Amino acid sequence: MSSRRSLLQSAAIAATAQSLATRLDAASQAAPMKGNIQHSVCKWCYPKISLEDLCKAAKGIGLGSIELLGPDDWPTLAKHGLTCAMTTAPNIDGLGGIAKSFNRIEHHDKLVQVYSDWIPKAAAAGVQNLICFSGNRDGLDDQKGLENCAIGLKRLMPLVEKHKVNLVMELLNSKVNHKDYQCDHTAWGVELCKRVGSERMKLLYDIYHMQIMEGDVIANIRQYNPYFAHYHTGGVPGRNEIDESQELYYPAIVKAIVATGFKGFIAQEFIPKRADVLASLKQGVSICDV
């Protein structure tokens, strides 16, 4: 019985490995990209696939980036001819993430310290965009949070401008996923960029999050696109595949982005529900390749 169990386990492991190999091979059979936008994917959505294997699949599908990764992973991407279109957030003593960041003055010294270390590293690696967050309100008035974020981010602008990279604050929903997050409306983020007063201070327009918070996705893209350095996808509701199973029509959204003259990256950041996650990724990229 023990030998039989071992044999079955070995067969299962072999089958899983073969399945991944088959999916990687299928992902490599991609049609050429149209070239109107650059495609990226967020690694965290594929926890069961190693970075090496995701790099291989990404190259085959036609992506130029795997993102939300830090300096330790950038050499692996470079080895496969990929970039990191958006870094993950640096973290120091629990600061820098979604909940605790620039909207509190008492966090600024440590945040400036860690970003000052990452900014030249990103520039040296050819990484253009470093993500940042507002932090949660925790009772803080939106105007005061705006003022505090601007004070902290202004401290980093001379270094950002020197190295020709961007600090990019992500717009997130506070209704479903990130309760109490302060930078939860486009107008708030745009006002922050204006107050910081640098062309290197931008926003990450997450289409999934902003559909939940305010809708009018295409209208907001047309109005506020000069402040957007990067875009994320995701099906609404649920943040799953971006096909006909959800409410957004991504071909029209991406056409609106292209019409603004945007030349940066659009990243797939949905959580696949299907067993063949790479097929879902390939489909998402195809939908957005307008």
Q: What is the pLDDT of residues 8-66, one digit of tens each?
A: 454 444 444 455 555 555 444 556 889 999 999 999 999 999 999 999 999 999 999 99
Amino acid identity for residue 195 in this structure: R
Residue 102 pLDDT > 60, yes or no?
A: yes
Residue 149 pLDDT > 80, yes or no?
A: yes
pLDDT at 121: 98
Helix (H, G, I), strand (E, B) or coil at 244: coil
Task: Give the mean model confidence (pLDDT) for residues 188-203.
Answer: 98
pLDDT at 11: 46
Reading the block at residue 53, the tokens are: 């294997």
Computed over every residue of the chain, the mean pLDDT equals: 92
pLDDT at 31: 60
Could you tell me the CATH number of the domain that includes residue 6?
Answer: 3.20.20.150
What is the C-alpha radius of gyration for the chain, rounded to an integer number of angstroms? 20
pLDDT at 32: 82
Domain that holds residue 163: 2-288
Reading the block at residue 210, the tokens are: 């902003």
CA of 121: how far to CAs of 90, 100, 111, 115, 240, in Å? Answer: 12, 23, 16, 10, 33
Q: How many domains does the chain have?
A: 1
Print the SS3 string covering 166-235. Answer: EEEEECCCCCCCCCCECCCCHHHHHHHHHHHCCCCEEEEEEHHHHHHHCCCHHHHHHHHHHHEEEEECCC
* Residue closest to 39 by CA, chosen among 98, 92, 86: 86
Residue 284 pLDDT > 80, yes or no?
A: yes
Least confident of 5-9, 70-74, 95-99, 257-261: 5-9
